[in-house]
Structures are given as structure tokens and as C-alpha cells.
Structure 1
Amino acid sequence: MEIIRAKEFTAERAWGAKTIANMKGVTTRLHWTDQPYKWHINDGEEVFAVLDGVVEMHYREDKNSTRVEQCVVLQAGDIFFASVGTEHVAHPIGEARILVVEMEGSV
């Protein structure tokens, strides 16, 4: 058993993480960051839950045969679900703590 105080978690570098659990190849990790990530597509589905801070989530969708960039602002308590093939990048506004659930080894 472990209690984790998300608001107190920090890392030595942007997107540093604490692995909370690995359940049959699905990882749950707590990330701290103050810098954007990189555009990527995960190997599987991803659940991205903002626990503390604000994050601009940019993602690309196909609309009328054109790849269109969208952006949504996620507040603490908001969840972004990236289905297979969703290209996305997170841009925190200041510091943020994010819970990410995804397949082990995913980008």
C-alpha cells in the first residue's frame, strides 16, 4: 500500500515520472512537468488526467481529408483520452502533475 500526494510530487526533469503500478502491462504513472512534451502517437490507448495545474492539449484530427490541429485547455480534474492513432502533444502552463495510464513502454 502507498499514499501519494500528487501536489507534492516533483521530478528532476520535465516529464519525470513515478511509476505507481504496472498491471499486466498497463502502467499508471505520475508525471511532473513544466515543459511541453513532443508530438507523438502512442502504441495503444492513453488516459491523461490532470491532477494539478493547467495543460493545453494539442491534437490532430482528420476532417474532410485534411489533418487539422485542435487544442483544448485541461484543468485539474479533466481527462483526455487518446484513442489508438491520436497524434497529440501536451503543453503545461506553468507546473503540472499528470496521471498517465498506458501500455508499458509506450511513447
Structure 2
Amino acid sequence: MKVIRSADFTGERAWAALDIANMNGITTRLHWTDQPYRWHVNDGEEVFVVLGGQVQMRYRLEGLEQSVLLEVGDIFYADLGTEHVAHPQGVARVLVIESAGSV
């Protein structure tokens, strides 16, 4: 049992992570960041939940770049093969649920 106060979590570098759980090969991690990630495709599906701040999520759909601004409480689901990149707007905290060892 543990209680995690996401607002208290900070990292020493962008995309620092706190491992919360690994359940049957699915990881749940809390990330702190103030810098964009990189364009990538996960090894499986990904659920991305904004817990603090704002994140501009860019993704490619049928070869065309799209963008959506995610606010606190918003969820982005990347299905298999979705190329995407997260751009925090300042400091952001996000919960990421994905296959263990995914990009």
C-alpha cells in the first residue's frame, strides 16, 4: 500500500519517473517534465494522463501531424502504431501506463 502525492514529485531531469506499479507486464509511472519528449511509437498501447500542468500532444494520423492541448484530468490514448510526442507547456506531471520496457 502506498499513497503518492503527484504534486510533490519533482525530477532532477526532464521525464524523470517514479515507478508506481508493474502489474502483469504493464507499468504505471509518474513522470515530471519541463521539456518535450521525442517523436516515438510505443511497443504497445499507452495511456497518458495529465495530473498537473498542460501538455500539447502532437501525433500523426494518416501521415498528417495533429495536435491537442491536454489539461489536468485529460487522457490521451495511443493505440499500437500511433506516432506521438508530448510537449509540456511549462512544468507537467503525467501518469503513463504502458507495457514494461516500452519506449
CA-CA distance at 1:75 after TM superposition: 0.2
What is the aligned partner in structure 2 of residue 101 from structure 1? 97
Pairing of 1:60-99 with structure 2 (within 5 A): 60-62=60-62, 67-99=63-95
Q: TM-score, normalised on structure 2?
A: 0.99
- SS in structure 2 of the partner of residue 80 of structure 1: strand
Matched letter for residue 89 of structure 1:
V
Partners of 2:33 and 2:56 in 1: CA distance: 13
SS in 1 for 2:91: strand
- DSSP-derived class of the 1:7 partner: helix
Q: Distance in 2 between matches of 1:3 and 1:27?
A: 17
In the alignment, the residues of structure 1 paired with residue 13 and residue 26 of structure 2 have an alpha-carbon distance, to the nearest angstrom, of: 23
Q: 1:6 is matched with which residue? A: 6
Distance 2:27 2:12 in 1: 21
Please provide the CA RMSD for this pair: 0.3
> What TM-score, normalized by structure 1, do the two folds share?
0.96
- Consecutive aligned runs of 4 or more in structure 1 exceeding 4 Å deviation: none
Query: Residues of 1 paired with 2:17 and 2:101: CA distance?
Result: 13
> Partners of 2:8 and 2:71 in 1: how far apart?
17
Structure 1: runs of 5 or more not aligned: none
Secondary structure in structure 2 of the residue aligned to 1:41: coil
Name the structure 2 match of 1:47. Answer: 47
What is the Cα deviation at residue 21 of structure 1?
0.1
More strand by proportion, 1 or 2? 1
Counting aligned pairs with the same residue, the percent is 66
